[in-house]
Amino acid sequence: MARRLSYSARYTHPAETIYQALSQKNYWEDLMEGFRELTPISNVHEFERNDDGIRVTLQQTITRDMLPPIAQTVMMKDMLITRVETYGSFDPAGTTGTYTASIPAGPGSLTGEQELFSTETGCTIRKTTEVKVYIPFVNAKLEQLMLVNLVDLFRGEAEFTSTWVQDKLA
C-alpha cells in the first residue's frame, strides 16, 4: 500500500519572486552545492526554462555505506537518485508542477504534485507526495523511512530557498 505525505513550505516573499528563483539555473546549482556537504556527488543534470515553465533534473549519489541498515538490505551498491521537478509557466492564481525521484532498479517509486500560490503573508509551495515500495515485509518500514527523510529534505530546501531569495533577489 502506498503512503502519502503533504508538506507546505511557507515564504514571506511573493510567489512571483520564489518562481523567479526556481527559474534560474544558478539557484539549483547553489542548492546542489549545499547538498554536497551530505552527498558529495550532487549535480544539476539538466535544466530547461521556456514559455511552458521549468524542468530540472538533479542527480545525487549516496554511497551504500551511508544508507541506513534496512536500506542496505535491498540496495547492494551505491544509490543514484534522479529527481525531476517541473513547474508550469507562472500563474498569479497558482502555478502547478510535478516531481519524481527514481533509482535504477530501485525497489519503489516516489511521485508528487506541487503548487506555488500566493498567501496574505507571501506564498506557499504545497507538495503532495506518494511513495510505494514493492518489497514484501520491509515495504512499510522503507516507505516510512522515505517519508521521514522527505520532510527533512523539504524543510531544508525551504530554508535554503528563503535564504537564497533574500540574498540574491530581495
**113-136 mean pLDDT:** 95
Alpha-carbon gap, residue 28 to 25, rounded angstroms? 5
**pLDDT, tens digit, for every residue of 69-120?**
877 777 778 878 999 999 999 999 999 999 999 988 778 899 999 999 999 9
Q: Is the pLDDT confidence value at 144 over 90?
A: no
- The whole-number average pLDDT for the span 25-35 is 97
- CATH fold of 3-168 reads Alpha-D-Glucose-1,6-Bisphosphate; Chain A, domain 4 (3.30.530)
Secondary structure (DSSP) of 147-166: HHHHHHHHHHHHHHHHHHHH
Percent of the chain residues topping a pLDDT of 70: 100
Q: Is the pLDDT of residue 64 over 90?
A: no
Beta strands in 26-153 (DSSP E): 41-50, 53-62, 79-88, 95-102, 108-119, 122-133
- What per-residue confidence (pLDDT) applies to 137? 81
| Phi (first) and psi of residue 57, to 5 degrees | -115, 125
Q: Which three cell numbers stand for residue 104?
A: 535504477
| pLDDT value for 139 | 83
8, 30, 68 from 12: Cα distances, Å: 13, 21, 35
- pLDDT at 52 > cutoff 90: yes
Which distant-in-sequence residues (6+ apart) come within 8 Å of 117 by Cβ?
Answer: 15, 93, 94, 95, 123, 124, 126
Q: What is the pTM of this model?
A: 0.91
Q: Are 10 and 121 in contact (CB under 8 A)?
A: yes
For the chain, which residues make up each domain, given as ranges?
A: 3-168
- Cβ atoms of 128 and 112 within 8 Å: the answer is yes
Task: Kindly report the average pLDDT of the chain as a whole number.
Answer: 93
